Amino acid sequence: MTPERLARIRAVLNKRQPDLTVLMERVHKPHNFSAILRSCDAVGVLEAHAIPAKHGIPNLEEAEDLSLKGKTFNETSGSAAKWVGLQLHADTASAFAHLKARGFQVLAAHFSERAVDYRQADYTRPTCILLGTEKWGVSPEAAELADAHILIPMVGMVQSLNVSVAAAVILFEAQRQRLQAGFYEQVRLAPEQYEAVLQSWMARHAQGQG
């Protein structure tokens, strides 16, 4: 590994946000799954969470684009899958139990009577953004367990955005608030976690070069 590449890896790791994450609840379309991971990487999310759809982590066996057939989300999310950890959960209840034990507030991207403008949420708190399946959105169970519901105001004919687009919009608002609060100006990871992630990233880089 060149000194320049190592410096780049450290610079990115220095801005990772261990207390900002997403929970994808049965997001099953590969392009959405991978696009959400790319947005996570772009704003500095260290680790994402997912409750797999019935058939598991998305693949592209049924992709409309024939050039993508047979590829997994790891192969379609570019380099994002290398740099954003992914923790899987068996079901909604266990995912929430895990996140709550770590002190996260869970904000469901969900249209309801108690939903507020996504910009009103405080993303400087440990925050998990809950994103539901493409067709049905957040499940009733997850909506009930969430600490709050957020929505992106729409003034056109459509009622909602694609799940990966919505994820990007909300994540970049979280980044804006955290930039304003100075969260990216200092390393947020504990020394032992920093070193562990650094070694993991270096190993992944080496594998990619092999």
Range of the domain at 69: 17-205
Q: Tens of pLDDT along the chain (210 residues)? A: 898 999 999 999 999 999 999 999 999 898 999 999 999 999 999 999 999 987 666 654 443 443 334 444 444 445 677 899 999 999 999 999 999 999 999 999 999 999 999 999 999 999 999 999 988 899 999 999 999 999 999 999 988 899 999 999 999 999 999 999 999 999 999 999 999 999 999 998 887 664
Residues tagged in the binding site annotation: 132-136, 152, 161
Residue 210 lies in a domain: no
Residue 2 lies in a domain: no
The reported pLDDT for the residue numbered 166 is 97
The reported pLDDT for the residue numbered 46 is 98
Residue 107 lies in a domain: yes
Residue 54 lies in a domain: yes
Residue 1 lies in a domain: no
Question: Would you list the DSSP string of 4-51?
Answer: HHHHHHHHHHTT-BTTEEEEEES---HHHHHHHHHHHHHHTBSEEEEE
Residues tagged in the binding site annotation for S-adenosyl-L-methionine: 132-136, 152, 161
Q: Which residues pair with 25 in a beta bridge?
A: 51
Residue 102 lies in a domain: yes
CATH of the domain at 54: 3.40.1280.10
What letter would DSSP give residue 100?
H
- CA–CA separation, 104 vs 88, rounded Å? 17
The reported pLDDT for the residue numbered 78 is 53
Q: How many domains does the chain have?
A: 1
Residue 53 lies in a domain: yes
Residue 48 lies in a domain: yes
Q: Is 46 helix (H, G, I), strand (E, B) or coil?
A: coil
The reported pLDDT for the residue numbered 69 is 41
Residue 45: what are its φ and ψ, rounded to 5°? -65, 130
